[in-house]
Structure 1
Amino acid sequence: MRLYLDSDPRPVIRQLAMQLGIHPEALRNWIRQAEADAGHRSDRATTAETEELRRLRKENAELKRANEILKAASAFFASELD
């Protein structure tokens, strides 16, 4: 990825990928992600944003589970009072 970004003129991704022994689409995705992380692209999320989104989704799922447990406990105790 750095080899591609630091080269002038930039090499053809397919040729560079063949030289490195990796799939061209893998290299292309890594380059796009590096450009997004550097702030040169706005069409995809940065690595930090992706990690934060993953963390928030996990936290949201945990809160939903806790809420369901509290609802069940509330219904149980409400039926006990009647």
Structure 2
Amino acid sequence: MPKTRPAYPAEFRRQIVDLVSAGRDPTDLARAFEPARQTIQNWVAQADRSEGRRVAKPPPTDPGLTATKGDEFARLRWEVR
């Protein structure tokens, strides 16, 4: 069973995001503090989206997929779950 830890407090995440915004490298922060570099980058991206500085990427689309087929696939995925 993988080890899990409680979520980092919001204040801690905000401070890490502020440090990255001030020019610190996420890799250096990951070495100094516990969160992984990717986790820190995810926090920065989420903060950017929340503050309107970044737009969420749309999911990849299949050029041969019509809206009707896409709706049908979504319905079938839901039924399978």
Per the normalisation by structure 2, the TM-score is 0.45
Between 1 and 2, higher relative CO (CA 8 Å, sep ≥ 6) is seen in 2
* Bigger radius of gyration: 1
